Amino acid sequence: MDATFSLLTMTGASAMLLLALAVLWRHHVPAYITAFRMQSVALAFVGAVVAWFGDVSELFLVAALILALKGWIVPRILARMEARRPGDRGLHPLVNTEMSLLLSGGLAVAAYEISRPVAEVISLPTRGGLPLALALILVSLFIVVSRRQVIAQIVGFLMLENGIALLALLGAYGVPLVVELGVFLDVLLGVLVMQALVPGMGEPSAG
Amino acid sequence: MTTVVLAAAELLFLAILAPAVVGYVRWLKARLQSRRGADLFQPYREFRKTFAKGMVIADTASWLFHLAPYVVVASTVAAAVLVPVFSASQAGDQFGDLFALMALLILGTMFLALGGLDPGTAFGGMGSSREMTVAALTEPTLAIAVLALALTAGSSSLGVITGTLLTTPANAIGPGHALAFAAFLIAMLAETGRLPVDNPATHLELTMIHEAMILEYSGPYLALLEWAAALKLTLLLTLAANLFVPWGMATSVGAAALAFGLVVVVAKIAVLATLLALLETRVAKLRLFRVPELLAVSFTLALLAATSSFFTR
Amino acid sequence: MIGTALASAMAAFAAGAVFALAWPSGAGARRLSLASAFAGCVAALVLGVDMLDSGISWTWQSQAVLQPLGGVSLRVDPLGAFFVAIVALTGAPASLYALGYLRELDGRLRGRAVHALFNVFLAGMCLVPLADNAATFLFAWEVMALSSYLLVVSDPEQEGAAAAGLWYAVMTHAGFLALLAAFVMLAQNGPLEFPAMRAAAGTLTPAAQSTSVLLTLAAFGSKAGLVPLHVWLPRAHPAAPSHVSALMSGAMVKLGVYGTIRVLFDLMPPLSPWWGGAVLALGVVTALTGVLYSVAETHIKRVLAYSTVENIGLIFVGLGFALLMRAYDSGVLAAMGLVVALLHTLNHAVFKSLLFLAAGAVVHGARASSLEALGGLIKRMPHTAALCLIGVLALAAVPPLNGFTSEWLTFQLLLAGARYTAPSLAIMLPLALAAVALVAGLAAVSAVRFFGIAFLALPRTDGARDAHEAPLTMRAAMAMPALACVVLGLVPTLAVTQLTAVVSDLGLPMGQLDTGLALSLPLIGSRLWPIAIAALMAAAAIAAVLGTRAARGRQVRIDAAWNCGRIAQSPRSEYTAAAFAEPLKRVFTGFYRPTHEVTVEVHPVSPYFVRAITLRADLAPWMEQAIYAPVVRAAQRLSAQASRLHTGSIHLYLALLPAALLVLLLLGRWIR
């Protein structure tokens, strides 16, 4: 039972991390949005698994909300932002692709090293995925820092949120529903505000 | 003694099957592209025909040009002996392991590159330069993938790795194993010169990597080189199948077990070849300077696999 | 036996120097001095092998020589014997080679000087591993440094020889000072004898320990060629005559490795794991830097010099691993690490000397030293090409040659370390493994490029077109290390069993070894049997050859190569060395920092008619600019300040004497 639980959550967490790596690899914005959408679906999957095996029924609601909000609404908003913007495809990121991938590999290794003492203390079956969640957070921060296109930075920030949510799910079987709802509202509001400002954000950020 | 006989049988099997694998991939790609496609046995006919033809040697070539095909064949055959095919008792373990296999493959690549440089054509130089670059950048990925496998098995010997997986299947469950498999497949695409790294069916010299190096070879030399390339593809597919999904391999030397192992390995190679054909139809060839990005992806996957296998021990 | 061998070796070298300077006829001087050098090397080899076989150490002291510094003290132990054997194995082919190589210098003073210095150089290198006190060590070290410096600057026609000599002299003497300081620190007010230092090792304070380790690494690291102290290597090796370059790369830099092992493993107690990790990281960085530059360089000997830097890096990876394992009390793994490092030392000495000798033959025959000016030499110099091919394959670490054996063992070592040690090492070792694998791949690229551009295709200049094959002595000299490469590759246990004796003598026992023809070290589950691999490959090749013979038998037509329909093939259409490395230069552009400069010369009448376009692409030596240029500028500023003392006033000069006296008296009073 525990083995299946652990396996399913680790697979979900690995999929989320790999989708963050996809943002570093691909060069087109629609690919970023698809990666984010699939990552949110994976997060919802992990939430559902934790809800089922961990007997925390409110997480089912959280998973459904993640699916609806981050899996459907926010990607649509992002796609609309992308469609409206005059294309600035030729922007190369600050760090080239190979170095980005090697650095994120290094960040993942660092995340494993950092979370080793934590993994020894926590006795939940989901502790194997904690390093992956931490790695996702670090890689998303790196995405935000190193990409020049605004949409890519926004996607990186949203992936950071996903990573934190994953960490909470795996480490403590989620946070109370109220907190989750608050975070969702924050995210939605943030994206709507950014969408309203997009015509003025058509220029790439400097440096 | 039985292990030696089995090893010889496995080598013969791979040697005979190799053109059929290439033929199958070509046929499936044709079908997926709504063409009829030549049947599975076309590469055999091509081999026989090419082998019987006379040769045209460039006037600028030297004795290295004549040496290269034999070294390529020799190194690929030696690598093929190391690969576990349908039996888990491995004679190859006596003289080599995964690192030796990698080194033998790079020996073949080096001589192909030298054979491409010898006639002094621009295309040969281009192919050699690109092929060596891709081969060099694939090395770290393969090494880390080997490390990931060898850590759980305790040794880099192929027989030990497959044997450990056969006895404790629990090691194969988990993202580490899958990540290593994905990394290995990407590295395999680079090593064997398939899309998206290199297009084996291209006629444009400027887009060639592997084909450009063998442009000057004809007759028996060309037949040998094409067969060696087919053998390399087959042995890497078998390696991918048996290192990561070894179940079905014969653990005893009974005739029934061996026959079953044979059928299973053919099925596994067929599945992987189908996936290869699907992938090649789906993607376009990458620019040469985008290939390092692909190899960086596979390296990162392999690194993640190795790290996760460390920490879940 | 050992005593007589050593005495005869030294006598032979001395005789060689005398013959070179005093013998009336130039040709006779050359032959006699080089024959003496060869004999001296043979005697040194006998010394080494005898000691390793018998296991009996031999010591000799004398207060007659170097009396004020503590007298001469020699000791032959397994480690020293091994390194003397390496010097001998590199020196003998080099002596034979010089017979043909330096024939044109007969009768000139420069020729005599080169032969004499060659003998002195060999003598110095043989004495360094046998020294048992600081005085002897430093004396032999300095003899080695001075003679090699003079040999580096000996050829006035070599461009950049003087600058190369300057870099070399400054760095080697800075290393000398560091070494002196290290020995003084290790002696801790006792006598500067190695046995005394060994006994007092336990009483070193941690600060003193760290400082001595740093000084040792600085001194021996600069001699060996660790980054960033390697900058003299690619300058000095191309400037020296080829047989001297072979000796420098094959033997002299190995003495840097010897010094590191002697101090860190023998004279000092087990160090903290930080040092092991630092040495390992330094080795990885050195290997990567060396191989990346060797792929991009176009001067034939500089490619090989950077490749030496790469291999030194790999040796230090083994040393760092051994230090690390010793700190973690993992004796068997530490022993294995040291064995692998020493084996690679031997293998590299053998194939690098072969390659330098071959490069010398190429430069001698084709009168050109840039890869871009060579080509097609395989037809004009077939024997040299075949021997060079063996060296190049050993460099690329492919089975069944000796380069592959040490490469394979390094991989197995890192694998065993990753499996059996603390999780905190779990990060470093896979990364080291990946780096070593990348280095191996890039070394293969460099090897193909080196051999392919120099020997294959069409000649790019008249010099290459009219190249002549090397004389018989040079070819015979090259055949010796080539044979050694093949033998060491097929039967690696020959060397490995001797090395386990060396390592046990240093206090790291390794236990039982598989002494058959296959290689299988403790804690490793895999086996390597090079003879079987070679036999398999030979069988497959023979089958293919027979099949081909049977099949065609009829027509082989010689015709033009396919050039997309062009009528004539010219060497202008071949790939150049720079072009071959271009994809890698693009991938690693952050490391190389290349500069591109395009100048367009237009017709005075209109800017639309272009006369000439020049592209200048350079690899900026950023390491020198970033690290050394500031140091040199600081030194110049300091000197400018100091020159203010030269005011010309005699009163100031007189005042300096009592001032110094006063300061020393006060210091002597306060520092008890």
Q: Is the peptide bond before C594 cis (omega within 30 degrees of 0)?
A: no
The beta-carbon neighbor of A113 closest among C427, C587, C590 is: C427
| Coil, helix or strand at residue C594 | strand
- Chain C: partners with 3+ C-beta pairs within 8 Å: A, B
Pairing status of strand C72-76 against strand C58-62: antiparallel
- Contact yes or no for A116 and C431 at CB 8 A: no
- Is the predicted pLDDT of residue A201 greater than 60, yes or no? no
The beta-carbon neighbor of B139 closest among C437, C527, C547 is: C437
- Is the predicted pLDDT of residue C270 greater than 60, yes or no? yes
The segment with the largest mean pLDDT, out of C45-59, C95-109, C243-257, is C243-257
pLDDT digits (tens, 9 = 90+) for C174-188: 999 999 999 988 888
- Contact yes or no for B293 and A97 at CB 8 A: yes
Identify the pLDDT of residue A154.
87
- Contact yes or no for B95 and C533 at CB 8 A: yes
The label of the residue with tokens 């009483």 reads: C203
Q: Is the peptide bond before B196 cis (omega within 30 degrees of 0)?
A: yes
**Is A102 an 8 Å CB contact of chain B?**
yes
How far apart CA C182 and CA C551 sit, in angstroms, is: 70
pLDDT digits (tens, 9 = 90+) for C143-156: 999 999 999 998 88
Identify the pLDDT of residue C672.
53
pLDDT digits (tens, 9 = 90+) for C394-413: 999 998 899 999 999 999 98
- Contact yes or no for B174 and A131 at CB 8 A: no
pLDDT digits (tens, 9 = 90+) for B30-84: 999 999 989 999 999 999 999 988 889 998 899 999 999 999 999 999 999 999 8
pLDDT digits (tens, 9 = 90+) for C72-107: 888 888 999 999 999 999 999 999 999 989 888 887
- Contact yes or no for A102 and B310 at CB 8 A: no
DSSP state, C228?
Answer: T
pLDDT digits (tens, 9 = 90+) for C196-249: 888 888 888 888 889 999 999 999 999 999 988 999 999 999 999 999 999 999
- Is the predicted pLDDT of residue B88 greater than 50, yes or no? yes
Name the amino acid, one letter, at C587: V
The beta-carbon neighbor of B151 closest among C419, C437, C445 is: C419
Task: Answer whether C139's CB lies under 8 Å from C120's CB.
Answer: no
Identify the pLDDT of residue A202.
46
C648: tokens are 């010309």
- String of b and e for C222-236 (b: at least 16 CB within 10 Å)? bbbbbbbbbbbbbbb
The beta-carbon neighbor of A105 closest among B178, B293, B300 is: B300
Residue C418 is inside which H or E element, if any?
helix C402-420
- Is the predicted pLDDT of residue B313 greater than 60, yes or no? no
How far apart CA B184 and CA B224 sit, in angstroms, is: 26
Identify the pLDDT of residue C248.
93
The beta-carbon neighbor of B300 closest among A104, A116, A131 is: A104
- What's the average model confidence in pLDDT over C114-132? 93
Minimal Cα–Cα distance from A143 to chain C, Å? 20
CA distances from A123 to A118, A131, C416 (A): 10, 14, 30
DSSP state, C267?
Answer: I
By CA distance, what is A14's nearest residue in B?
B175
Task: Answer whether A13's CB lies under 8 Å from A39's CB.
Answer: no
Name the amino acid, one letter, at A8: L
pLDDT digits (tens, 9 = 90+) for B203-224: 787 788 888 889 899 989 999 9
- Is the predicted pLDDT of residue C285 greater than 60, yes or no? yes
Question: Cα A181 to the chain's mean position, in Å?
Answer: 17
CA-closest candidate to residue C408, choices A204, B101, A93: B101
Q: How many CB atoms lie within 10 A of CB C466?
A: 12
- What's the average model confidence in pLDDT over C555-573? 80
How far apart CA C515 and CA C521 sit, in angstroms, is: 10
Identify the pLDDT of residue C53.
83
Q: How many CB atoms lie within 10 A of CB C277?
A: 19
Identify the pLDDT of residue A204.
53
Give the mean pLDDT of chain C: 88
Band (A177; pLDDT cuts 50, 70, 90): confident
How far apart CA B77 and CA C536 sit, in angstroms, is: 8
Identify the pLDDT of residue C28.
87
- Is the predicted pLDDT of residue A198 greater than 70, yes or no? no
Q: What are phi and psi of C369, to 5 degrees?
A: -120, 5
The segment with the largest mean pLDDT, out of A7-11, A125-129, C201-205, C286-290, is C286-290
Q: Provide the whole-model pTM.
A: 0.90
Contacts of A58 (CB under 8 A, 6+ apart): A51, A174, A177
**Is A111 an 8 Å CB contact of chain B?**
no
- Is the predicted pLDDT of residue C485 greater than 70, yes or no? yes
Chain C hits for A113, CB-CB cut-off 8 Å, are 427
Give the mean pLDDT of chain A: 84
- What's the average model confidence in pLDDT over C562-589? 84
The label of the residue with tokens 């072009």 reads: C579
Minimal Cα–Cα distance from C628 to chain A, Å? 27
DSSP state, C438?
Answer: H
Contacts of A10 (CB under 8 A, 6+ apart): A128, A129, A132, B174, B175
Chain C hits for B7, CB-CB cut-off 8 Å, are none
How far apart CA B110 and CA B213 sit, in angstroms, is: 11
- Contact yes or no for C453 and B117 at CB 8 A: yes
**Is C202 an 8 Å CB contact of chain A?**
no
pLDDT digits (tens, 9 = 90+) for B128-183: 999 999 999 999 999 999 888 888 787 888 888 888 888 887 777 777 888 889 99
Q: Name the residue with higher pLDDT: B201 or B280.
A: B280
CB < 8 Å from B in window 82-101 of C = none
SS3 of chain B: the string is CHHHHHHHHHHHHHHHHHHHHHHHHHHHHHHHCCCCCCCCCHHHHHHHHHHHCCEEEECCCCHHHHHHHHHHHHHHHHHHHHCCCCECCCHHHHCCCHHHHHHHHHHHHHHHHHHHHCCCCHHHHHHHHHHHHHHHHHHHHHHHHHHHHHHHHCCCCHHHHHHHHHHCHHHHCCHHHHHHHHHHHHHHHHHHCCCCCCCCCCCCHHHCCHHHHCCCCCHHHHHHHHHHHHHHHHHHHHHHHHHHCCCCCECCCCHHHHHHHHHHHHHHHHHHHHHHHHHHHHCCCCCHHHHHHHHHHHHHHHHHHHHHHHHCC
**Is C566 an 8 Å CB contact of chain B?**
no
| Residue B308 burial (C-beta neighbours within 10 Å; 0-12, 13-18, 19+) | buried
Half-sphere exposure of B304 (CA within 13 A, CB side): 36
- Contact yes or no for B123 and C404 at CB 8 A: no
- What's the average model confidence in pLDDT over C591-616? 88
Helices (H), C248-272: 253-261
Band (C255; pLDDT cuts 50, 70, 90): very high
Q: Name the residue with higher pLDDT: C592 or C479.
A: C479
CB < 8 Å from A in window 241-300 of B = 292-293, 296-297, 299-300
How far apart CA C151 and CA C105 sit, in angstroms, is: 14
C309: tokens are 């830097």
**Is B63 an 8 Å CB contact of chain A?**
no
The label of the residue with tokens 């990573």 reads: A163
SS3 of B124-192: the string is HHHHHHHHHHHHHHHHHHHHHHHHHHHHHHCCCCHHHHHHHHHHCHHHHCCHHHHHHHHHHHHHHHHHH
A-C contacts at Cβ under 8 angstroms: 8
B112: tokens are 């192909």
- Is the predicted pLDDT of residue C552 greater than 70, yes or no? no
- What's the average model confidence in pLDDT over B244-253? 83
- What's the average model confidence in pLDDT over B226-241? 94
pLDDT digits (tens, 9 = 90+) for C514-538: 656 777 776 767 888 899 999 999 9
Task: Answer whether C325's CB lies under 8 Å from C337's CB.
Answer: yes
How far apart CA C116 and CA C29 sit, in angstroms, is: 10
- Is the predicted pLDDT of residue C441 greater than 50, yes or no? yes
Band (A206; pLDDT cuts 50, 70, 90): very low
Q: How many CB atoms lie within 10 A of CB C403?
A: 29
Band (A111; pLDDT cuts 50, 70, 90): confident
DSSP state, C567?
Answer: S
